[in-house]
A and B are shown apart, each in its own frame.
Chain A
């Protein structure tokens, strides 16, 4: 028994953290991420991967419901930390880590989580999409094909996926999925409702959770730090962990009071910006997607926008572009494959609050 407690303490010494930031809590999130970096705690990619769920600030009703679903999908041992204010981050995370190791609380027997079917039964508007249950809807689509023509019927109380014509003129299964509001490198609170054929989005619609009750204006952020933060998100989605790590450290270094650390952060920002701008592999894999018309003022394609951030990140005086409307982004991701769609979304500065850009120069 002592042994299992020790194994537990050892295994969870560096928990994996799923961070849910509420809209408007951006500097708060940076402070928490900096603290996690100092501890060497890594970010979870899905509820199944999570030990510690950390919610920053009070979520709106829609996001709160989504967080409940996420929480219900996190395997034991798990612990949830609700951080309300940025002043006691260290202590709250210490406490969270300690609570995770404590063997008390609900064991597997005292599990009060709802069954997946129950969650789907209450299928309302917002709640239910974590990262996982998009899949819950999917039904056993391919299996259906073997039983002859009949595509109707139910599996586990869910309707089977129906077929529809795809872009190549074939009949393929159509899956209705919801992505967001919480995903790695994804603006928290953004929800993408889409129809998926294979891994191609055939229709897409974007909206913000709790759109009615969002804060009026974002705090004034340092443009260099904001650009680095957007780069971090993009690099996470692009699957480049070493560059994302460097960009995050540069961003956090700018918050430091110590001038030496700020100089180091500037150096680090320059290095990561150069690396991203010059990367041929990135240009090859992320190039040619999210192309916008020059007159739209959205700055060319995804790669152009990311390179622009690189310039802002090193402190060059580049005017920020206007944020696109959600409908414009939805039109861009339609017909894209899931990976491209994620890169396109990560290539925009999407915020739930409307930020008025400082005087905009016309040229893209």
Chain B
């Protein structure tokens, strides 16, 4: 008995519009919190990302010698598109934009397609720093992808469904973060990694002059930076839905709770993430495989045993 989706309730165009505006607002929040932490001045933190956006609109687009222009542009446009598409399965107020019966797979697929998009952004300009950024993203992807998938599937396992609304409903008694803290932490860290932000910003780091973003200007830079911020926001919202009980909470209306929890996750993530330097992918890949894969598997095993004992029923 699939629940009604936002599209069913509001119609296609308004529902899509609401999710898009919501996604952009979420991206702005992420960028503003990040800005406030990095610059240490909270006053202009909200304005700054808007200024950066306006700058993207007035600035000339960059060209390089013999670029792979088509693939380059596709990559740049794909980053924010995938970020907004991943928001389509995040349940707010008990509804998602659309329901696929395999929402978790959908979310993961958007993030997997990001591999291709970021690689193309690095490949396209035919420049050494951008290409190095692309290599780094793929190396980092090898580190985070499997633990991230195990973390996602652990939540699905406990709920007995891949539908995010079911996962939220299954947390009525107890938030999943209590029984699966490892999966929660790995998921949030994985979110920072696929948005190549903070300690996982190696693909766009200063040591390679901005890496995949080094040859971007104008609207291309705007799209990629926007996509990264929205992805981080979408992942924080997803973490709330999967591990922090979604919009459950006393006194306040559900969507407000959801918003507050998402804000808390974003703030905690940015605060913690900006306390450390960029971690080099060749070292994170070792931790990913030697530590996180076994840990997340053990986490999944523990949850599976709980499921068999009827703990979540």
Residues of A within 8 A of B (CB): 4, 7-8, 10-14, 40, 45-46, 48-49, 51, 73, 75-77, 108, 116-117, 120, 131-140, 155-156, 158, 175, 177, 183-185, 196, 198-199, 235-243, 245, 279, 281-282, 284-286, 337-340, 342-343
Taking CB atoms, residues of chain A closer than 8 Å to B129 are: 46, 131-132, 134-135
Q: Chain A's nearest CB lies how many Å from the CB of B277? A: 4
B214 touches A7 (CB 8 A): no
Can you list 6 pairs linking A and B with CB atoms under 8 Å apart? A48-B217, A75-B60, A75-B61, A116-B63, A196-B128, A338-B208
Q: Contact between A339 and B66 (Cβ–Cβ < 8 Å)?
A: no
| Mask of B48-59 contacts with A, CB within 8 angstroms, 1/0 | 100100110111
Query: Which of A131, A175, A196: most chain B CB closer than 10 A?
Result: A131
Knowing that A132-B64, A177-B128, A281-B199 touch, tell me 13 more A-B residue pairs with CB under 8 angstroms: A12-B55, A13-B51, A77-B58, A135-B64, A136-B126, A237-B207, A239-B206, A239-B277, A245-B38, A279-B276, A281-B276, A285-B283, A339-B205
Most buried by A among B128, B213, B214: B128
With contacts A11-B57, A14-B48, A339-B207 taken as known, whether A135 is within 8 angstroms of B38 at the C-beta atoms is no
Contacts of B59 in A (CB 8 A): 11, 75-77
Is B237 close to A, CB under 8 A? no
Contact call A12/B64, Cβ cutoff below 8 A: no
Could you tell me if B214 and A131 are in contact, using CB atoms closer than 8 angstroms?
yes
Q: Within the assembled complex, what's the spacing in Å between the Cα atoms of A138 and B209?
A: 17
Task: State whether the Cβ of B161 lies closer than 8 Å to any Cβ in chain A.
Answer: no
Q: In the complex where A132-B215, A279-B276, A281-B279 touch, is A108 in contact with B60 (Cβ < 8 A)?
A: yes
In the bound complex, do residue A135 and residue B58 qualify as a contact, i.e. CB atoms below 8 Å apart? no
Contact of A46 among B58, B214, B275 (CB under 8 A): B214
Known: A198-B135, A236-B206, A238-B277. A46 touches B126 (CB 8 A): no
Closest chain B residue, CB of each to CB of A8: B58
- Rounded to whole Å, the gap between the CB of A39 and the closest CB of chain B is 12
Q: Which residues of A contact B199 (CB under 8 A)?
A: 281
Q: What separation, in Å, do the CA atoms of A342 and B125 have in the docked complex?
A: 22
A117: B residues at CB distance < 8 A: 65
Q: Which residues of A are found within 8 Å of B132, using beta-carbon distances?
A: 199, 338
Which residues of chain A have C-beta atoms less than 8 A from B66's C-beta?
Answer: 139-140, 155-156, 158
The residues of B with any CB-CB pair to A shorter than 8 Å are: 37-41, 44, 48, 51, 54-55, 57-66, 68, 125-132, 135-136, 199, 201-202, 205-210, 213-218, 221, 274-280, 282-283
| Structural contact, A120 and B65, CB atoms closer than 8 A | yes
Q: Is the CB of B278 within 8 A of A49?
A: no
Please tell me if the beta carbons of B206 and A136 are within 8 angstroms of each other in the complex: no
Contact status B207-A185, CB under 8 Å:
yes
Residue of A184, A185, A236, A339 contacting most chain B CB atoms (<10 Å):
A339
Nearest CB to that of A176 among chain B residues? B128
Q: How far is the CA of A135 from the CA of B55 in the complex (A)?
A: 25
Shortest 8 CB-CB distances between A and B: which pairs? A135-B127, A239-B278, A116-B65, A11-B54, A156-B66, A240-B277, A75-B60, A281-B276
CB-nearest residue of chain B to A116: B65
Least distance between A252 CB and chain B CB atoms (Å)? 14
Please give me the residue from chain B that is nearest to A276 by CB atom. Answer: B277
CB of A104 to closest CB in B, whole Å? 15
Whole-angstrom distance from the CB of B289 to the nearest CB of chain A?
16
By the criterion CB–CB under 8 Å, are B51 and A14 in contact?
Answer: yes
Bound Cα distance A241, B205 (Å): 11
Q: Which residue of A lies closest to B132 (CB)?
A: A199
Bound-state Cα–Cα, A75 to B58, Å:
10
- Point out the residues of chain A lying under 8 angstroms from B274, CB to CB: 241-242
Given contacts A138-B131, A237-B207, A279-B276, contact A46 B65 (CB under 8 A): no
Using known A-B contacts A138-B127, A140-B66, A285-B278, determine if residue A239 contacts B205 with beta carbons closer than 8 Å: yes
B151 vs chain A, min Cβ distance (A): 21
In the bound complex, residues from chain B placing their C-beta under 8 Å from that of A241 are 38, 274
Q: How far is the CA of A7 from the CA of B58 in the complex (A)?
A: 8
